[in-house]
Amino acid sequence: MTWSLLGDALAIFFALCGMFFMFVGAVGIVRFPDAYNRLHASSKCSTLGVMGLALAAVFHVGTLAVTTKAIMTIVFALVAAPVGSHMLAKAAHLNGLKPWDRQLSDELQQDKERREGKSPCNAPRGMAASPQSRPARRDPGSDPTARISAAV
Amino acid sequence: MIYAFLLNILLTVVYVMLTANTSTPNVIIGFAIGFFVISLYGLTRPGPSYPGKVWRLFHFGIYFMKILVQANLKIAWECITPGLHQTPRILRHDVSDLNDTQLTVLANSITLTPGTLVVDVSDDHNWLYVHCMYAQDRSAAIAELRDLHDRLKQEVFS
Amino acid sequence: MNGSVLSMLSLAHGPAPALAAAASPLQPALFLTLEIGAVLAIVGMMLCLYRMVRGPHLADRVLSGDTLAYQVVGLVILLTVRMESTTYLDGALVVAIIGFASTLAFSQYIGNLNRRSNA
């Protein structure tokens, strides 16, 4: 009796947490300004939400089959959500997704242009003119030009 | 090394399947036997002992859960307060000292830490391009990434 | 059970008979929590659909579809807790895998789209 009471209390707690974070993820998808920020909400919140709900199932039902499948679901969510968001962000950047106006710098775009030897007039709108757009100059140790030219 | 811990879990599964008894005490006994065997084997090898490695792995697990909850709370705070406070950037982060497995684990855990998301890996696997949500100060954001990087190298792949 | 949100999603009605004897006094509170969770999941799915219709870029639509798949996973796990049945969790895992595979396929499509238009 005590065990089922404790299990139900934990199940209520984890189910509430999981559903709250899932809902927050959905709200973040609607509210955030561009696709990268939306990917933040999508990957983190769906991982923790699925984790909380699976733990609620474990604590309420508690049989071996449910525990095994819940652990499998948690591990799959932990691996799949970051990989999916990574691939989506990479494809979106490859496709030339226009970043948010308030984005401070885009060093991936700078490196791509440097690698292709393009002139800076091809830079996306409003990005190259920002005074903070070349922060790599501040720490010369992390300048990738040498390594990239050596690789090419 | 995390591979020894994975071997321990594999030994547990084999023990449980061989004894055909899936109760919780039996699983714990199987895990303990595997732990003992791998510790004995680790005594013959140079380097840190196996229980110390498992303790560090456990420590990293606690830290990882903490930062995962922190990331979600940050997004929740961003959602429920009016207006947008993000100052996003795409930064490059040096990962030339990691092999491919370590790079995969690092990329996955960077995506789950607060305010960071991996966008791309350079073709020579030397640079990770990370989208940071709150990166008004570039060096502070890089320092957070470096902290996770060092913890992963020392506590998981030591 | 009649008139609740989760009952509309399931063919079975009522709690599982096996565990009904061992019900704890917190069970009504847990079931109320599950109803609230189902409503939250359905509202979240509507928000995802809004972003899918509205999304300015193709990536926005794909990521809203990904999140929609995870909301469905959450709803199915809620149904598992409500019905105290193992079978529903298989459904949750299958939906998660299909959502992941569709995200990968769509991101390959988005990446190839750029290459084709440039060539």
Residues B53 and A70 sit within 8 Å (Cβ to Cβ): no
B119 neighbors A34 (Cβ within 8 angstroms): no
- DSSP annotation string for A36-66: HHHHHHHHHHHHHHHHHHHHHHHHHT--HHH
Q: Which domain holds residue B35?
A: 2-43
Whether B48 maps to a domain, the answer reads no
Same domain, B11 and B79: no
Q: Predicted ipTM?
A: 0.82
- Beta strands across the sheet bearing B127-132: B89-94, B127-132, B116-121
Same domain flag for B24 and B79: no
In a domain, B49, yes or no: no
* C48 closest CB neighbour out of A4, A29, A94: A29
Partner residue facing A45 (CB), from B72, B126, B129: B72
Q: Are B113 and A44 in contact (CB under 8 A)?
A: no
| Residues contacting residue C108 through CB under 8 Å, at least 6 positions apart | A87, A91
pLDDT digits (tens, 9 = 90+) for A29-54: 888 888 888 888 888 888 999 999 99
CA C10 to chain centre: 14
Domain of residue C101, CATH code? 1.10.287
B116: helix, coil or strand? strand
Please say whether the beta carbons of B141 and B135 come within 8 A: yes
For B107-119, the pLDDT digits (tens) are 888 888 888 888 8
Share of chain B above pLDDT 70, in %: 99
Q: Do A4 and C22 touch (CB under 8 A)?
A: yes
Contact A108 B86 (CB under 8 A): no
Please state, in angstroms and rounded to a whole number, the distance separating the CA atoms of residues B87 and B137.
9
pLDDT at residue C117, as a whole number: 62
Which residue in C5, C6, C19, C26 has the most chain A C-beta atoms within 10 A of its own C-beta, making it the best mutation to test that interface? C26
Count of the separate structural domains present in chain B: 2
Residues of C in contact with A112 (CB under 8 A): none
What are the extents of the domains in chain A?
Answer: 2-94
**How many domains does chain C divide into?**
1
Residue B77 lies in a domain: yes
pLDDT for position A150: 45
